[in-house]
Structure 1
Amino acid sequence: MEKTEIPITVVVPSYNQGRFIDDTITSLLEQDYPALDILVMDGGSTDDTVERLKRYGDRITWISERDFGQSDAIAKGFARAREGWITWLNSDDVQCNRALWAVNEVVARNPEVEVVVGNGHYMDEDGNNPRPYPTIPVGPTIDVAGQMFEKGYVAQPSIFFRKSAYTKAGGINRALKFCMDYDLWTRLALAGCRFAACDVDISGNRWYATTKSAGQTLELLAEVAAVQVKHFGRVSPYFVQAISDNLYQTLHGDHYGDTHHMVYRLLYFKAVWLWLNIRRPSYCLRGLFRETIAKSGPLVGDRLTIGDCWRGLRKAIGGTKVAA
């Protein structure tokens, strides 16, 4: 039987990313994937992005016009995509390790699959210092919606999905500024789409100070919490701790130092838990008594025990008395 490559459209939302966009487009073209459409949706860049796009001729399709932000650009691109498989690749990220071919192989082995989730890595602004991007497990025996609720960590540039599944899930929410990807993956899972894993590192995600995710972390987490409440009616311990740790560091740690920081971090966690989950009384009360923080951050499993909490509280109280 003759092997046929699945059609893939990659939408590249772009705005004033001329210094990165050649790396992004080249990472796609160099794969020599015969069934690829590259559609750059530029938001009217004022740097040299458009001049760079012109150099690719008919190897890519591009549009440069004002839009209402990243989500709007992605949605407009997907509306233009042909039927088949789609994804988006931000104009400062790259694909690697023959990503398109790797996805094609997963689909060939799993013809009914609707969403393919690959591995990825973070990298610095110059493309160096790669480190793994945490990724949830997916597959036919895994509750993907549950995984999305608990942590939801996936490398956005490493996810490919059928356009029909995208339509079934309701498409991109253009109102979201930060977590339009998390919201879409959650809706794909809740819609019953079939997920399959691609156990290859297929994307590089730049992480530097002026990215939206790095520069506006609390705003991003607040949007994720709102999405969780919308879809699940509650916020998971992982995201509660991510928010509470951010608030603790901003409001307390940066000004008062880290003395008794475990106690204060736990108090922040309990306060944020109550604030975000009070709509679900039984879940909220259970969490107030049972949930604790991980000592090293939300992704680490070194959770505080009751003994740790008691010893820390006694030390904090004792330290306060001595200071007085």
Structure 2
Amino acid sequence: MMTGDSSETDKSSASDPPKVSVVTAAFNALDGVRATVESVASQSGVSVEHIVIDGGSSDGTVEYLSEPGSRAVWISEPDDGIADAMNKGVERARGEYVIVLQAGDTFIDEGIVARVVPFLERGPDIVSGNVRFADPVTGPTLKTRGFTFKTNFKTTILHQAAFCRRSLFERIGAFDTSYEVAMDYEFFLRAMRNGIRLETIDLSVAHMPDDGISSQLDWAALEKRFAEERRIHSRHCPGPGMRMIYAAYWPAYLIYRRLKALG
């Protein structure tokens, strides 16, 4: 395992932790890592730490993270997938709140975390904002919906704009490593089932490029995501009524998505 700590983090004492910890999981994604690291480092007006969990990249990521002046804390070692890497980051986080920005995700501007802090100060377990997709200026805005009835079926919270209280992971558990693409949806559905307090904010927090694993639109990728969502629904079904709804929903939804894919 290779590790690295920024000089800024070394100077921070345990009694003066950062307000927000940003966790990034990456593997052979140098350009994306560079964009995310620079975005996090540019945040002003609030203490933010950045933890990069690299899966043992061979594309120059480690060399980049090792450069003098790097402000990211990082480790590089093989992992068991994205969820495992995210959990490693959360375990190392010292901030009161944790947000996951994957390689290539960036904050919408240099002051957004500071603008979110007043909402964090109200004490919710999760503060959920919006995400700009594809083009950071002209791309569509993906709106957070918070916890709604729709959350029973699809994710209504975007992890790139969700600040989660670090203690929440101790209360309801970490990201489930048995999921490859829907681990964030499973986590947020589990949070809803546990009555976790969430506050939505109508602010664009982050920009997400259109090349992430969960944004893939080919049918094979969609089938994998649908299979994981069905397993999540089965696992977290709250009762017989919802089980009947799921039984009717999935056949109809798969037909709809197949027809949509065919154009």
Task: Tell me the amino acid that sits aligned with residue 104 of structure 1.
Answer: V
Are 1:153 and 2:153 matched, yes or no?
Answer: no
Q: TM-score, normalised by structure 1?
A: 0.67
Q: Aligned pair in 2 of structure 1 residues 90, 248: CA closer, same or farther (>3 Å)? A: same
5+ residue gaps, structure 1, are 139-143, 259-324
- Which of these residues, 48, 57, 64, is aligned with residue 36 of structure 1? 48
1:51 Cα shift? 1.8
Alignment correspondent of 1:213: 215
Computing the radius of gyration over CA atoms, which structure comes out larger, 1 or 2?
1
Alignment correspondent of 1:183: 186
Q: Distance in 2 between matches of 1:123 and 1:15?
A: 21
Alignment correspondent of 1:59: 71
Give matches, 1:99-118, under 5 Å.
Answer: 99-108=112-121, 110-111=122-123, 113-118=124-129
Larger helix fraction of residues: 1
Q: Distance in 1 between matches of 2:222 and 2:168?
A: 29
Q: Aligned pair in 2 of structure 1 residues 179, 237: CA closer, same or farther (>3 Å)? A: farther
Q: Could you list the runs of 4 or more consecutive aligned residues of structure 1 that deviate by over 6 angstroms after TM superposition?
A: 236-239
The superposition leaves residues 220-251 of structure 1 with CA deviations (integer Å, 9 ceiling, x where unpaired) of 1221121012112633877665532333456x
1:66 Cα shift? 0.7
Q: Aligned pair in 2 of structure 1 residues 238, 56: CA closer, same or farther (>3 Å)? A: farther
Alignment correspondent of 1:223: 228
Contact 1:71 1:172 (8 Å CA) reproduced: yes
Q: How many residues align?
A: 238
- Percent sequence identity over matched residues? 24
Higher relative contact order (CA 8 A, sep 6+): 2
Alignment correspondent of 1:9: 21
* RMSD between aligned residues: 2.5
Q: Aligned pair in 2 of structure 1 residues 25, 83: CA closer, same or farther (>3 Å)? A: closer
1:57 Cα shift? 3.3
- Which of these residues, 72, 85, 102, is aligned with residue 84 of structure 2? 72
Q: Distance in 1 between matches of 2:249 and 2:105?
A: 26
Task: Tell me the amino acid that sits aligned with residue 79 of structure 1.
Answer: E
Q: Secondary structure at the match of 2:94?
A: coil
Q: Secondary structure at the match of 2:57?
A: coil
1:32 Cα shift? 2.1
Higher mean C-alpha deviation, range 94-103 or range 81-90: 94-103
Q: Aligned pair in 2 of structure 1 residues 18, 189: CA closer, same or farther (>3 Å)? A: same
Q: Secondary structure at the match of 1:82?
A: coil
Larger strand fraction of residues: 2
Are 1:18 and 2:20 matched, yes or no?
Answer: no
Alignment correspondent of 1:92: 104
